Amino acid sequence: MYLRREDLGAPADAFFAQQPPERREHLAALRALVKKAAPGARESMKWGMPYYELKGGFCALYTATTYVALSIMAPPAKLDDPEGKLEGTGKTMRHLKVRSAADIDKASILRWVKAAVAHHS
């Protein structure tokens, strides 16, 4: 039996507010970049994490024990990543793991998010 998550479609603000300060900073920076790259995107909770969509889901933010991450929902061939910052082996998604502020490369993140939006348009 499938159980519907209570947070499905809920605003994401509570997710951000409950994070420890350092994670909250990194998540806030990623959130701002997603919103800058995709103005008008809908932000809501899905699968327990902030999820972003326009014509389709294009990225999500999540936390792990030692990092926060941006999941970018696009085939790797669409994501220009010459420095190899994105991780993952799937056909349709890559992840940027952020352990410190130095891991937040604004130009690359904006480019990747825009590429994911274009892929889903």
Q: Which domains can be identified in the chain, with CATH numbers?
A: 13-119 (3.90.1150.200)
pLDDT of res. 121 = 84
Query: Using one digit for the tens of pLDDT, what is the confidence trace for 49-61?
Result: 999 999 889 999 9
Q: What is the distance between the terminal CA atoms of the chain, rounded to a whole angstrom?
A: 33
Mean pLDDT over each residue of the chain, to the nearest integer: 92
pTM (two decimals): 0.91
For the record, the structure tokens of 32 come out as 């701002």
Cα–Cα dist 52/72, whole Å: 10
Determine the pLDDT at residue 4.
57
Residues 6+ apart with CB under 8 A from 18: none
Q: Residue 69: pLDDT above 80? A: yes
Q: Which pLDDT does position 31 carry in this prediction?
A: 98
**Distance between CA atoms of residues 102 and 96, nearest Å:** 12
How high is the pLDDT of residue 10? 72
pLDDT for 12 beyond 70: yes
Provide the pLDDT confidence category of residue 86 given band limits of 50, 70 and 90: very high
Q: Residue 8 above 80 pLDDT?
A: no
